[in-house]
Structure 1
Amino acid sequence: MKKPLGVLVGIVVVVGVISTAGAWYTGTKIESVLQASIQKANQELASQLEGTSVHGTVELVSLESRFYSSTARYRVNVQDDASGPDAQPLELLIVDELEHGPLPWSRIKTFKWLPVMASSSYVLEETPSVEKWFAAAKDQSPLNGRATLNYDRSVVGHMELLPLDAKLDESSSLTFSGMIMDGQMDADGQNLKAKGYMEHLKVHADTPGKPPVLVELNGLTIASDLNKSTYGFYLGQNVLQLSDGQLTFGERRSELKIKDFEYADSASATDNLLSGRLAYNVGDITLDGKPVGSAKMVMTANSLDIPAMQSLLQLYQTKFQPQADGTLPETPLTLAEQTLMQAGVENFLSAKPQLALEDLTLKTVHGESHFNVTVSLAKPASFEQPPIEIAKQMMTALNAKLQLSKPMIADLSAVQAQLAGQSDPQAIAEAASMNGEMAGVMAVQTGLAKVDSNNILASLSYSGGQVDFNGQKMSLEDFVSVLMTRIEGMSGEPVGTTRQ
């Protein structure tokens, strides 16, 4: 018995010595590590919020170091310039209890024996900025979390937002089930993964003089898997899924419900060229208990020159982005800025970008419609040419197809009538059917589309200066002339005239 006991005691002593030595080392290094992390966080905030009206900073307010642990306090300030010059910044104070490594007790007791630099447990501290948030959480800290700092300075964390039940004012309220978030990030923030889940959110807003609005969201999941590019922004995938949601609005208290909503985006880069995909999907839509349909949209972009886009974006933010009061800057472009803009446009087009609405699908009870369009661009030989020649050279290819269901138009017309307060089912059905048929008649009369049974069809393709419009081949010049003539026929006025 003595030998095994001696071995066990020896192991405990060794672990104790290692832990003590590690704790001393961590305790002497923790401040420099925190300051480095905060500096990195501020750089990242500035980078990711560039071009928006929001900016924020993080600072270490205090650090109380002990042998085995430390207490750090951070201040986070967030300011939205769009709220006006008199708006006060949102101030968050976070208290972080740090256990020094390599073997923090909170990890040992949960059988996590892999050495780490530190383990932290943090909570939001009450300040005037968040006192209502605390009250809604029944005077508990509404935000808390845990994080582990590894010796390679990677971080693994878990954050919780507590349930809330609050009156926003005398007639408005908010109910929130809480939310959990898990994430991990490497030392330099190059790789980031996060996942979160919210069970329920309900907001009731009642504004004087307007009908009350009720918004309900159930089963929200968000997830990200991102890698930072050499240009400073993140690439990868983001997904948002919502089990169901409801909007109650209007004098008639109409109820619009959706189910199985999903948003997904992805982006990747090869050298200096960016590709991306954006998709929305709504599995089911109902209005006042009656089925409306479903919807899907997919957009893609390929061969986008990143430096050119960044240059143009920076110029836009400087010269064209609306100010806090909604007005546009009045300072004209300087000669140097005009040169910079032209160079950005030329570089963007030189990469031969391709933009596409790959699929727009709307499906109702009685019909289904589709639309897609793809455009390929290139740099023209010169911008000092007639507009038609620039268009020929800049747009190397275009393909578009439309299939518009007349029964779908009728279904949506019935929905519109329902929203307008009409209640006679027979009158609604007759008007809706007439609208579907009228759409087909107008398409044929204007020559912009054809009718095949219950579908209105249109197609347009362009390549090498030649256009195929609904099966009719012509030059780009002739197509522009035909299009202008038909638009004039629809409006009854020559294109370009102004009504007095």
Structure 2
Amino acid sequence: MKKSLVAVGVIVALGVVWTGTAWYTGKQLEGRMAEMVGNANAVLKKASPEAGLTLSYQDYHRGLFHSSMQLVIKPTAGMTSAILKPDQSIVFNEIIDHGPFPFAQLKKFNLLPSMASVHTTLVNNPTTKPLFDITKGLSFIDAQTRIGYSGDTSSDIDLLPLDYVKGEEKVAFSGGQFKADVDGKGDKISIRGEAQSGLVNTSNEYGQHVQMTFNGIKTEGDSSRSEFIERIGSQKASIEKLAISVEGKEMAVVEGLSINAKSELQEDKKHLSGQIDYTLNSLKVQNQDIGSGKLTLKIGNLDGAAVQEFSNKYNAESQKLLADPATAQNPEAYQQQIVELFAANLPLLLKGDPVITVAPLSWKNAKGESSFNLSLFLKDPALTTTEPTTPEEQLNRVVKSLDSKLVIPVDMATAFMTQVAQLEGYQPAEAAKLAEQQIKGLAAMGQMFRVTTMEDNKVVSSLQYANGQVTLNGQKMPLSDLLGMFGMPGIDDQSAPAPELEAPATPATPAVPQQ
């Protein structure tokens, strides 16, 4: 009897503690909501000012074990959003189970104490109604987020499978699963997920039936807040296959497309570096195997403080442009002013004497592989106080050295141009003959103008530059001579005629500079 009373007493005591803690954590969460939304807006504004969006919350109702509210995404006041119109909004319902052991969390056998568990679904409103029409009234997004007492969040996000048919239009989607983890301060973010397949059938502007399918989309990334830029880290994205057909005829198939990007602080903690790798395993156009390609681009020695200054100025000015209705409603004018804005602030990025490397940019088919490699060492033009009067001085203000090489196998280029001609409607024999003529002509012209040489049936061009001295295909010359080869006058003589080139006696066997 006494043991029973003790057991009942313990259960009652635990119930009181649980109830009191749930009430406390619910109140604590309410008090921090404004702060959390404010932090989210600060990140959104800094990372994507061009989006022109603001996050807010409304209708917060706190209960003992559960609370509810709505998160609202709207265009920022006074700005034109690139995503939403002024009268549009995206709204999410948030159902919050209070800790320390939220019921939704217990259902998944997660026994770790937490402040709350939040269930997120999309609200059907005029903006999202087309999506609800496709999902037959269900929320396309369903997310469950665990909020720790330290403020850490862990979200499991499910995208609903779709199967929609209306006349000639069809949308099918396997659904997707994504996971996002964010620490309490928002310093560290981890996102990963995948979607198996999808299909879209529609009509283009010419009334043709277009079908697009994809398989195996994956993404994975980890980032952390940086002292100089918003975030540094790594991000991977890949797609196994993407196919596009028109009127039932396969137009293009992309296989094995992947992007791998990485940014980090260098050892001195003052400079930044980054690398991005593109890989394409196969490209087929109208059932022809065009080949595969890859690109590795590296940027190093970016001055962190200068990058931060560039980012602040660029973001501030771009927001001013978006706030101007006349500019925001004219895409061409906006793009032109954005380019001008970028160019005006570009010298800031040269403060750390950055290094740009392309190693390689390549394309490969059954007959060979073409490649381009580049190593470019830049420097801060602000360190040069005198006004440049020669091409050498102009270039030396921003370039320490350059080393590049282009290699194109003739057989590879001929096969590629043959495929291009066939895609344009030529018969195979005619396409092969035309391609051979084109490649031979281009190779001869390149040798005639001394910009390329022939080595082992490959068109080769190499260019090095340092301290005003150019080496083109092994031949040294001043920069002014190189500019003159292309009819470009020097800075100190804008009206000077270009020097005449000495053409070879026979175009079929052009003169090759001595190596």
TM-score bin (small chain): 0.7 to 0.9
Note if contact 2:229-2:308 (Cα within 8 Å) is conserved in structure 1.
no
Note if contact 1:241-1:260 (Cα within 8 Å) is conserved in structure 2.
yes
Shift of 1:396: 0.7
Partner secondary structure for residue 318 of structure 2: helix
State the match for 2:66 in structure 1: 69
Provide closer, same or farther for how the CA distance between residues 285 and 208 of structure 1 changes in structure 2, counting only shifts above 3 A.
Answer: closer
State the match for 2:44 in structure 1: 45
The range that moved more, 15-24 or 251-260, is 251-260
Provide closer, same or farther for how the CA distance between residues 320 and 480 of structure 1 changes in structure 2, counting only shifts above 3 A.
Answer: farther
Note if contact 1:82-1:325 (Cα within 8 Å) is conserved in structure 2.
no
| Pick aligned residue for 1:432 from 435, 448, 456 | 435
Shift of 1:83: 6.1
Q: Distance in 2 between matches of 1:319 and 1:156?
A: 35
State the match for 2:420 in structure 1: 416
Q: Distance in 1 between matches of 2:248 and 2:139?
A: 40
Q: Distance in 2 between matches of 1:482 and 1:98?
A: 71
Shift of 1:175: 2.5
| Pick aligned residue for 1:328 from 330, 333, 337 | 333
| Pick aligned residue for 1:128 from 126, 130, 142 | 126
Q: Distance in 1 between matches of 2:236 and 2:450?
A: 42
Q: Distance in 1 between matches of 2:336 and 2:279?
A: 42
Provide closer, same or farther for how the CA distance between residues 57 and 330 of structure 1 changes in structure 2, counting only shifts above 3 A.
Answer: closer
State the match for 1:491 in structure 2: none
Shift of 1:387: 4.7
State the match for 2:17 in structure 1: 18
Structure 2: where are the runs of 5+ without partners?
490-496, 500-515
Provide closer, same or farther for how the CA distance between residues 105 and 379 of structure 1 changes in structure 2, counting only shifts above 3 A.
Answer: closer
Provide closer, same or farther for how the CA distance between residues 58 and 360 of structure 1 changes in structure 2, counting only shifts above 3 A.
Answer: same
State the match for 1:261 in structure 2: 257
Partner secondary structure for residue 129 of structure 1: coil
Q: Distance in 1 between matches of 2:320 and 2:72?
A: 33
State the match for 2:510 in structure 1: none
Shift of 1:8: 6.4
Shift of 1:311: 5.3
Provide closer, same or farther for how the CA distance between residues 88 and 275 of structure 1 changes in structure 2, counting only shifts above 3 A.
Answer: same
Partner secondary structure for residue 437 of structure 1: helix
What is the 5 A alignment of 1:267-346?
Answer: 267-270=263-266, 271-305=269-303, 306-310=307-311, 313-314=314-315, 317=318, 323-328=328-333
Note if contact 1:366-1:411 (Cα within 8 Å) is conserved in structure 2.
yes
Note if contact 1:303-1:354 (Cα within 8 Å) is conserved in structure 2.
yes
Q: Distance in 2 between matches of 1:127 and 1:19?
A: 37
**What amino acid sits opposite 2:29 in the alignment?**
I
Shift of 1:436: 2.9
Q: How many residues end up aligned between the 2 structures?
A: 476
2:97 is equivalent to residue 99 of structure 1: yes
Shift of 1:390: 2.4
Q: Distance in 1 between matches of 2:316 and 2:412?
A: 43
Q: Distance in 2 between matches of 1:495 and 1:301?
A: 35
Shift of 1:172: 4.3
Identical aligned pairs, as a percentage? Answer: 23
Shift of 1:122: 1.7
What is the 5 A alignment of 1:369-384?
Answer: 369-380=370-381, 381-382=384-385, 384=387
Provide closer, same or farther for how the CA distance between residues 348 and 285 of structure 1 changes in structure 2, counting only shifts above 3 A.
Answer: closer
2:401 is equivalent to residue 404 of structure 1: no
**What amino acid sits opposite 1:123 in the alignment?**
T
The range that moved more, 105-114 or 215-224, is 105-114
State the match for 2:215 in structure 1: 218
Shift of 1:9: 5.5
Note if contact 2:75-2:86 (Cα within 8 Å) is conserved in structure 1.
no
Provide closer, same or farther for how the CA distance between residues 126 and 330 of structure 1 changes in structure 2, counting only shifts above 3 A.
Answer: closer
| RMSD, aligned CA | 3.3
**What amino acid sits opposite 2:446 in the alignment?**
A
Note if contact 1:354-1:377 (Cα within 8 Å) is conserved in structure 2.
yes
Per the normalisation by structure 1, the TM-score is 0.86
Shift of 1:382: 2.2
Partner secondary structure for residue 419 of structure 2: helix
**What amino acid sits opposite 1:360 in the alignment?**
L
Shift of 1:471: 0.4
Partner secondary structure for residue 89 of structure 2: strand
**What amino acid sits opposite 2:40 in the alignment?**
A
Note if contact 1:319-1:331 (Cα within 8 Å) is conserved in structure 2.
no
Q: Distance in 2 between matches of 1:320 and 1:158?
A: 37
Provide closer, same or farther for how the CA distance between residues 78 and 136 of structure 1 changes in structure 2, counting only shifts above 3 A.
Answer: farther
Provide closer, same or farther for how the CA distance between residues 295 and 14 of structure 1 changes in structure 2, counting only shifts above 3 A.
Answer: farther
The range that moved more, 270-279 or 54-63, is 270-279
What is the 5 A alignment of 1:202-213?
Answer: 202-209=199-206, 211-213=208-210
Note if contact 1:409-1:436 (Cα within 8 Å) is conserved in structure 2.
yes
Note if contact 1:242-1:261 (Cα within 8 Å) is conserved in structure 2.
yes
**What amino acid sits opposite 1:415 in the alignment?**
Q
What is the 5 A alignment of 1:93-242?
Answer: 93-166=91-164, 171-209=168-206, 211-231=208-228, 233-242=230-239
Shift of 1:252: 9.1
Partner secondary structure for residue 484 of structure 1: coil
Q: Distance in 1 between matches of 2:120 and 2:44?
A: 20
Q: Distance in 1 between matches of 2:415 and 2:321?
A: 41
State the match for 1:366 in structure 2: 367
Shift of 1:89: 4.6
Partner secondary structure for residue 38 of structure 2: helix
| Pick aligned residue for 1:471 from 459, 462, 474 | 474
**What amino acid sits opposite 2:44 in the alignment?**
L
Provide closer, same or farther for how the CA distance between residues 383 and 262 of structure 1 changes in structure 2, counting only shifts above 3 A.
Answer: farther
Q: Distance in 2 between matches of 1:378 and 1:106?
A: 57
**1:363-389 CA-partner distances (Å, limit 9, x unpaired):** 011121000112111134225221521
Q: Distance in 1 between matches of 2:328 and 2:498?
A: 34
Note if contact 1:83-1:324 (Cα within 8 Å) is conserved in structure 2.
no
Partner secondary structure for residue 110 of structure 2: coil
Q: Distance in 1 between matches of 2:195 and 2:293?
A: 24
Note if contact 2:229-2:311 (Cα within 8 Å) is conserved in structure 1.
no
The range that moved more, 87-96 or 149-158, is 87-96
**What amino acid sits opposite 1:221 in the alignment?**
K
Q: Distance in 1 between matches of 2:336 and 2:467?
A: 40
Shift of 1:414: 2.1
Shift of 1:171: 4.8
The range that moved more, 19-28 or 309-318, is 309-318
